[in-house]
Amino acid sequence: MSYSLAAAISDLDEGQALQMVKTQLAAGADPQAILGACREGMSLVGKRYESGEYYVSELIMAGELFKQANALMQPYFSAGSGATKGTVVVGTVKGDIHDIGKDLVVGMLRANGYEVIDLGVDVPAEKFVEALKSSGAKVVGLSGLITISYDGMKSTVAALEAADLRSQVKVMVGGGSLTEQVREYVGADALGSDAQAAVMLAEQWS
């Protein structure tokens, strides 16, 4: 096929990409292979974003496209099929209800093969601790857009320390107003400037 599924996703050609997924599934193609092609397309989207060709709006479109393609594939997966790269817990911290950036990170991590536990917004520190304990995840992403979220991030990292989890878990933080100084203040391991950076950090830590 001259125009691949990965290329269709990379070009944000929703109609063509979803039709290709349907056609390949109907023809009996391996859903894992189709998922792999979709992830390849998302990787290409990430590269186009890094090069400045795409912007946040294109990342949002790509995330929605991947979500639709994944929904088409789900009935074809057997229970427990497909290994993941690992589990990441993500949430917007206590005091902040912004979710656009968080949702972008969640979508990109899932598109790149991670299982993501999305805790939502205005998440208290103890909920992060509970999710990390129950899932065994080794990476947590704390999102926050407004300055009040800094203390929410700091208290969450402190809660990880109190629960004896800090040495076992890597903490990434992200949000429009965050800087390296804020990262240092809250005690996180790294600052992810965007969704693609969050994926790169997860790759480093997995």
Contact criterion met (CB below 8 Å) for 140 and 201: no
Which two three-digit tokens encode residue 73?
């594939």
Task: Name the catalytic one among 4, 13, 98, 99.
Answer: 98
Active site (annotated) includes residue 149 = yes
Task: Name the catalytic one among 10, 43, 143, 149.
Answer: 149
Active site (annotated) includes residue 98 = yes
Task: Name the catalytic one among 10, 43, 96, 118.
Answer: 96
Active site (annotated) includes residue 30 = no
Beta bridge partners of 173: 142, 191
Residue at token pair 């950036």: 101
Catalytic residues: 96, 98, 149
